[in-house]
Amino acid sequence: MGDRVIYELTENGEGTVDEILPRSSELVRPPVANVELAVLVFAVQEPALNLSLLDKFLVHTESSGLETIICLTKQDLISEDEDAGPPAKGEMMSDSLKELVKLYESIGYQVVVTSAKCGIGIDPVLERLAGRISVFAGQSGVGKSSLLNAMVPGLQLETNQISMKLGRGKHTTRHVELIRLTNGGLVADTPGFSTLDFLQIEEAEQLSSCFKEFESYAAECKFRGCLHLHEPGCKVAEAKDQGLIAASRYENYLQFLGEIKDRKRRY
């Protein structure tokens, strides 16, 4: 999905593709090309927010050179008081969610907390999508289709309830579909999934550059090609110890590094 082509019309009104033009960007999963902006959609609850998977998605968008928005959906499922009803527009987020938003904003990502049910946070996302080709990606059941339905009156994409037994959603979007917005944007809606690999990262050294907050510290590491494990003079590890890099992000970096090394050993 997303390739730009040169084609020629045939006599029966159909067409033949003569040439596939070079791609400006490419994602393997979801399979989409030539997008400029990725909207990573994760629910704050149902399914539970998986920060490891969020960071893995961020590695993919960074390695592909895409701008990225983090969209946290289903704000109506949380409140300061568990017995309280859904939040009204403008109501304060829970402390844990505010800390999460603060963390990723400090790294340099726009984070928007939304509720399609209550109409919260829709406009800021729409503004970023105007005139752009973007892709919505995330787990099944996080509300990608509900969010798009709220953005495009009359769209009526199929939605499904979360499976409480499995803790994840059903695949209501079964293929990559391009949706036209009223503000000139085009959005590729993609099937949800809960696992990603690192096939596009060929060397372990590439992973560090996909963690934006590592960049300034990595430049000061004692050894060129430092993997930020146990190397002496590693400024990234020092920054983590000093609280300048979030422990959760550093731990996920180590986990992903291990996955990449295991893959290289298998092949």
Give the residue numbers of the binding site. 73-76, 138-146, 221, 226, 228, 234
Consecutive H or E run containing 61? helix 51-63
Residue by residue, what is the 3-state secondary structure of 142-157?
CCHHHHHHHHCCCCCC
CA–CA dist 162, 26 (Å, integer)? 30
**Distances from the Cα of 113 to the Cα of 122, 140, 208, angstroms:** 9, 18, 27
**Annotated binding-site positions for GTP:** 73-76, 138-146
Neighbours of 60 (CB within 10 A): 24
**Annotated binding-site positions for Zn(2+):** 221, 226, 228, 234
Q: How far apart are the first and last CA of the chain?
A: 29
Q: Residue 39: helix, strand or coil by DSSP?
A: strand
Cis link prior to 47 (omega < 30° from 0)?
Answer: yes
Per the CB < 8 A criterion, the answer to whether 69 and 126 are in contact is no
Consecutive H or E run containing 22? none
Per the CB < 8 A criterion, the answer to whether 118 and 89 are in contact is yes
The phi-psi region of residue 99 (left if phi > 0; otherwise alpha if psi is between -120 and 50; otherwise beta) is alpha
Neighbours of 18 (CB within 10 A): 9
